[in-house]
Homo-oligomer: A and B are copies of this chain.
């Protein structure tokens, strides 16, 4: 279905290496987990508290193995990529360098357990290779409802566009490309600010995965669903023959990512025999940021993260200590029924909106995470069912993201 023959060959090579990555992760992971465990990189499964397996030490940070397998796959994959063009190789290698650097720093975080402020610093450092090698456009299309703020049809008639007062103010900082007589889009060249935007995107993606976590299979599972959704987007665009280079690039990186993630998921799925650690969250987030930036679909990318954004917004009052924040906000195990129920915080205000969020006989308020909210709405669930439900929610919201991307893009950007 994809017209471009070289793109098809590259995707086939990528699919083959993805299979290899899956098999390699499955075989290599159990070889290295004893070393992780021996070095004290283990954790207890907090959602099993009160059950027989509560005290079991489970290897932590196994994302380092999936990340290494991924890197080996994509390094070999470069033999099939960009042989015709050094420019493509520069993009590819700088992408790999950022992912490798991020996985490395993620592993140091797992080992050293760095304080929270470094969680924002590390992705910024790891995006440097991407930013320094970036030589693409730094312009963004101004969405339709906003372009009238910057540009108006000139008073002289003839359909000439002129800058408005706001437009002139903005143009003193950023360069604005005004559409010609036949209409068209308004381009805003962000210049260096675009670099800041890319850095922020990396911080967003890595933390998006990292904060929506805590039950078996969720980190790797959500990354799997998001990667599949982006891959579907790439394939759709490739079939339409649009931006072939960028979407091939993205799909080539995502296939081995999906392969190694599936391999990891086999051990991380309920009941987890391995925890993925911050290493995996950073690795996955940076992979998403890299394909979004080099594939030039960063806005579509953000649309795939609706549950993560919701979870973050829900968490804000607790993260910034406006509301009391216990050390762990994971769901609580109801040992009698063997089901997970929302965990709660001691908050006794009579503020009416909390009535909906009250849980249990004490009338405490649930911890404000999407996981607890889902449990509160749906009722107590087994851990495996909860994870499946959350992944279904992720898939549905990715579908919803596509509707916005394809249906509303026409309204907002004047093109699909």
Pairs A–B under 8 Å by Cβ, sample size 16: A39-B112, A40-B40, A72-B125, A75-B97, A75-B129, A76-B132, A79-B132, A86-B86, A86-B87, A86-B90, A89-B90, A90-B90, A90-B93, A96-B129, A104-B107, A107-B108
Shortest CB–CB separation between residue A233 and chain B, in angstroms?
27
Shortest CB–CB separation between residue A112 and chain B, in angstroms?
4
- Chain A interfacial positions (CB closer than 8 Å to B): 32, 35-36, 38-41, 64, 68, 71-72, 75-76, 78-79, 85-87, 89-90, 93-94, 96-97, 100-101, 103-105, 107-108, 111-114, 125, 128-129, 132-133
Shortest CB–CB separation between residue A93 and chain B, in angstroms?
4
Provide the residues of chain B in CB contact with A101, threshold 8 Å.
71, 100
Q: How many copies does the complex hold?
A: 2
Partner of A32, one of B79, B112, B125, B132: B112
- Which of A89, A97, A105, A107 is most buried by chain B, counting CB atoms within 10 A of its CB? A97
Q: Across chains A and B, which 9 residue pairs bring their CB atoms closest together, nearest first?
A: A86-B86, A104-B104, A93-B93, A35-B112, A89-B90, A75-B128, A100-B100, A97-B97, A86-B87
Q: Are A108 and B64 in contact (CB under 8 A)?
A: yes
Shortest CB–CB separation between residue A111 and chain B, in angstroms?
5
Given A36-B112, A68-B108, 20 other A-B contacts at CB below 8 A? Answer: A38-B113, A39-B40, A39-B113, A68-B105, A68-B125, A71-B101, A72-B128, A75-B97, A75-B129, A75-B132, A78-B129, A85-B86, A86-B90, A89-B90, A89-B93, A93-B129, A93-B133, A97-B100, A104-B104, A107-B107
SS class, residues of chain A in contact with chain B: helix
Q: What is the CA–CA distance of A71 and B129 in the complex, to the nearest angstrom?
A: 9
Q: What is the CA–CA distance of A112 and B32 in the complex, to the nearest angstrom?
A: 9
Shortest CB–CB separation between residue A322 and chain B, in angstroms?
29
Provide the residues of chain B in CB contact with A38, threshold 8 Å.
112-113
- Which of A68, A101, A103, A114 is most buried by chain B, counting CB atoms within 10 A of its CB? A101
Shortest CB–CB separation between residue A59 and chain B, in angstroms?
11
Shortest CB–CB separation between residue A387 and chain B, in angstroms?
28
Q: What is the CA–CA distance of A197 and B402 in the complex, to the nearest angstrom?
A: 50
Provide the residues of chain B in CB contact with A87, threshold 8 Å.
86
Provide the residues of chain B in CB contact with A111, threshold 8 Å.
39, 41, 107, 111
Given contacts A72-B125, A128-B76, contact A89 B35 (CB under 8 A): no
Provide the residues of chain B in CB contact with A128, threshold 8 Å.
72, 75-76
Provide the residues of chain B in CB contact with A32, threshold 8 Å.
112
Provide the residues of chain B in CB contact with A132, threshold 8 Å.
75-76, 78-79
Q: What is the CA–CA distance of A64 and B90 in the complex, to the nearest angstrom?
A: 26
Provide the residues of chain B in CB contact with A76, threshold 8 Å.
128, 132
Provide the residues of chain B in CB contact with A90, threshold 8 Å.
86, 89-90, 93
Provide the residues of chain B in CB contact with A108, threshold 8 Å.
64, 68, 107
Shortest CB–CB separation between residue A92 and chain B, in angstroms?
9
Shortest CB–CB separation between residue A100 and chain B, in angstroms?
5
Q: What is the CA–CA distance of A32 and B68 in the complex, to the nearest angstrom?
A: 24
Provide the residues of chain B in CB contact with A113, threshold 8 Å.
35, 38-39
Q: What is the CA–CA distance of A113 and B40 in the complex, to the nearest angstrom?
A: 12
Shortest CB–CB separation between residue A121 and chain B, in angstroms?
11
- Which of A41, A68, A112 is most buried by chain B, counting CB atoms within 10 A of its CB? A112
